[in-house]
Structure 1
């Protein structure tokens, strides 16, 4: 069986694809953005890259960096069309199945070509592309057209399945799977509640992510509760560092910041989660956040926003975490932080429940045969 994956270069995509290693399937990856070199994370996969540039002219990188407007004009004439490159890949590979990860960046660019054939198309929804499609620049007409061509749907939460049906999807639903294909849980890195000095915050502040509101909430938290705590922010936008520098209260606290543009190894992030008393993530739109699932698996107490009621599929407020009802409400988030820091027994209860729940429901080893069978199911239906 030949599988052609269409996706941007992304850690979660690589993790999903690696669930197919040694499955016997021939797996190809069409890098829809043609970004960067071949990925060593999936070196066993045939990677279709280097298709975009017609001519890699001298000093191209320098011009891109120093004269972006000129570079943009040049590239209008120096880039191959994505649809033609994808058509060439289809013609060469003759895949049995095409699997597209995310709609806006990966699905819509290949849609005109997929509409000209009957190859079974699987679509995995990612992040906000179902819930927040209008704000991401996808029209209702484009959405419905894409759903019409999609034969099979995979989501990372029940919410997105119901939204897809509401917006016109009426073909086969293959089920809910974590976007990264499951979690590898190292129990030796899961520290007891008494050995968790870190408050860990996801630092996206890009319009959808609202880490800046979390920082404003921290300014309201009792200083005594923050004694002996280290605050670590990962995937931080540049605006977050500036916010801390310009705040008298925040700048006096012990922060460690990992920039969004400096890659932090997933193993390192999981180790941080394993010794964090809290994991706080706040946004106005998301699918089922992989970071939330990872934090739960490592025993960090989750304080998480709940856009479209997706987070409540795994979190019960006051039992195994705290749900942020209004991601723009500074006082609400501050109250949640204080509640969690004051209540060791709540955090202990949540840690015990979440670690066991993640082991049962999201363990990578358990999910691997289910993911491999998913493709066999599609293949069998088209023979």
Structure 2
């Protein structure tokens, strides 16, 4: 099967598409945001560096900033490029990741090419959050009826898609970046009695509520003297808010970290905390489970409860704005060694369903099922 991937350049895209290597499928990638060539994909036909008619010429940024209308004369249209690629590649399937940047722009062209099957992967806030913003909702309602198949990272989004007009086939619910090489990461997975880190995901922009976690831990810092508190992936809004706070010397900030370093840090952490007002199935939550950290995670729209049973293998934050609720959950976890041990045992079983080869085999079966379904029709 010839598959044309429409996706932005990201770690999750790289990991998902890498599952198709040596699968027998002919894979192409349209770099719709012009993010650049991906060295890990030497086996993928990459259509990138397409946007600028005359290359990245000197003075382009000045024109883009101060004369944006004139700058458009130097840019190729994503829609036209996509149309040209369809003619050139003649794919059996178009697979677009993320709704607004990678699916909505294809609607007009895909409506004219109904013989090509269209898969959509819902990630993160794609549907749960943006369905409540009228301009985005209109585009979502336009796109969903034309999609033939769908992946999602949580069951919640499958249901939302159906309620908003999706009538195609569900290919499955899988982590947005595929599975994890558990055997490889086990070397970084410390025993519970050697862990002394409370790890916080440092997102604050739009959806993230990491500052509320910091405030919660600040209130109980006298009871955290035996622990290191580390914030990773701190974004600009978090750093700005954090810099204005006092009496927070007990918190260490790590900003940009590569994926392996994050997993290594989780393998040393006793507790992981992720807090946001909107998300799909958080990849960092799955990584905390893989690496044996006790997860305390927000639960927008019920997505997190698909994998976390509250007070069994983690804690659910039902109100991301409640500082008191977060600090109570942290204190309870730290004072309940029996809970931490039981959760670790439970999650050790659970993580087998997140193992790389297991997920990959299921994903490849899902792609192959398209051929079977179309032959039946």
Q: Does 1:96 align with 2:92?
A: yes
C-alpha distance in 2, partners of 1:306/1:57?
43
1:95 aligned counterpart, secondary structure:
coil
| Cα pair 2:189 2:268 within 8 Å, conserved | yes
Deviations 1:226-265 (A, max 9, x none): 2132222222112322333322221x2141321xxx3x22
Q: What is the correspondence of 1:131-170 to structure 2 with a 5 Å cutoff?
A: 131-134=128-131, 138-170=135-167
Q: Secondary structure at the match of 1:315?
A: coil
Residue 138 (structure 1) shift: 4.5
**Of the candidates 356, 372, 375, which is equivalent to residue 364 of structure 1?**
356
Structure 1 residue matching 2:55: 3-state secondary structure: coil
CA distance in 1, matches of 2:64, 2:272: 38
Tell me the TM-score normalised to structure 2 length: 0.94
Aligned twin of 1:28: 28
Aligned twin of 1:203: 202
Aligned partner (choices 367, 378, 383) of residue 370 of structure 2: 378
Q: Is the 8 A contact 1:8 1:31 kept in 2?
A: yes
RMSD, aligned α-carbons: 1.7
Report if aligned partners of 1:196, 1:275 keep a CA contact under 8 Å in 2.
Answer: yes
Secondary structure (helix, strand or coil) at the match of 2:29 reads strand
Does the CA-based 8 Å contact 1:202-1:233 persist in structure 2? yes
CA distance in 2, matches of 1:366, 1:227: 41
Alignment partner, residue 334 of structure 1: 327
**3-state DSSP of counterpart to 2:16:** helix
Relative distance call for 1:351 and 1:138 in structure 2 (3 A) is farther
- TM-score normalised by L of structure 1: 0.93
Instruction: Render the CA deviation track for 1:58-77: whole Å, top value 9, x for unaligned.
Output: 4247x35xx76326344322
Shift of 1:351: 1.3
Distance 1:344 1:308 in 2: 30
1:221 counterpart = 2:213: no
Query: 100-109 vs 140-149, which deviates more?
Result: 140-149
Asked if structure 1 preserves the Cα contact closer than 8 Å seen for 2:118 and 2:148, the reply is yes
Gaps of 5+ in 1: none
Q: Hey, what does 1:45 align to over in structure 2?
A: 44
Cα shift readout 1:75-112 (whole Å, capped 9, x = no counterpart): 32211111000011111111011111111110001111
SS of residue matched to 1:109? helix
Where does structure 2 lack aligned partners over 5 or more consecutive residues?
A: none
- State the distance in 1 between where 2:77 and 2:134 align: 20
Whether 1:244 and 2:237 are equivalent positions in the alignment is no
Matched, 1:173 2:170: yes
Residue 310 of structure 1 deviates from its aligned partner by 0.8
Using the TM superposition, give the Cα deviation of residue 373 of structure 1 relative to its aligned residue in structure 2, in angstroms: 1.9
Conservation of the 8 A alpha-carbon contact between 2:120 and 2:147:
yes
Q: Shift of the alpha carbon at 1:321?
A: 0.5
Task: Give, in whole Å, the separation in 1 of the partners of 2:108 and 2:8.
Answer: 18
Call closer, same or farther: CA 1:254–1:286 in 2, change over 3 Å: closer
Distance 2:190 2:310 in 1: 23
Change (3 A) 1:71 1:45: farther
